[in-house]
Structure 1
């Protein structure tokens, strides 16, 4: 199997992060400009959060989420690539993780139905821990 295939889901998650970042700024700036909010009034994260409604802040919260557990995913993908342990199970698991994180982001940035969002988060976490344990067993 080509070991570089594991880099595809890694870059897909990076692209998801970029999309959420763009979405966050488009929504924030539109709200700030449409409501003529003085930038000095939202100079700190606390001030920004107190002024922006939750539906505008959800994408910011999701962006923060994308810098939590997904950082482990990046490390795991790089370890898989470097050690040449990539197989179909790791590859499909990596894509499942990215797909579930994309579903989580879509829910968080739009409807924010907490039960659905949590289900996507929980399932993605299970996939991540599966990759972690399986990789640890295979390299140690």
Structure 2
């Protein structure tokens, strides 16, 4: 068992942080016409209004289910008696799923596809928590 493997979880955690920063930047750009008047169309409307709402909703989603991802990762990072055998792969699966989910939510209205892709995120986090639970149940006190 290699406790250094647990430290690799900091990279997908950081990737999610960077992804959230990019979503905030996209939201700021989408709001420029409404807030600052920059980029309004000929009628004075925000041409990005539809995307603004989708980006905003997606950004809110980044603080719902991902909370369980970060919590599991922090537990792995701070404990020396549990080891992230599958958690690192699951964490990267989670990040890929988050990016795909966001692209679908922002770029389309295909709720079915979005739900299918969300399952990737959902299962990845369950794998992380499952690994934690199995290892904690095996720890002798």
- The answer on 1:59 being equivalent to 2:62 is no
Helix, strand or coil at the partner of 1:29: helix
CA RMSD of the aligned region, Å?
A: 1.9
Helix, strand or coil at the partner of 2:9: helix
Q: Contact 1:20 / 1:63 at 8 angstroms: preserved in 2? A: yes
* CA distance in 1 between partners of 2:25 and 2:68 (Å): 23
Higher helix share: 1
Q: Contact 2:76 / 2:84 at 8 angstroms: preserved in 1? A: no
The TM-score with structure 1 as length reference comes to 0.80
Structure 1: runs of 5 or more not aligned: 38-51
Helix, strand or coil at the partner of 2:108: coil
Structure 2: runs of 5 or more not aligned: none
Deviation at 1:31, TM superposition (A): 4.7
- Match among 67, 79, 88 for residue 91 of structure 1: 88
Structure with bigger RCO (C-alpha 8 Å, 6+ apart): 1
Alignment of 1:25-44 (within 5 A): 25-32=28-35, 33=37, 34=40, 36=44
Q: Contact 2:24 / 2:59 at 8 angstroms: preserved in 1? A: yes
* CA distance in 1 between partners of 2:32 and 2:103 (Å): 20
- The answer on 1:125 being equivalent to 2:122 is yes
- The answer on 1:9 being equivalent to 2:5 is no
Q: Which has the higher Rg, Structure 1 or Structure 2?
A: 2
The TM-score with structure 2 as length reference comes to 0.79
* CA distance in 2 between partners of 1:61 and 1:4 (Å): 31
Counting matched residue pairs gives 126
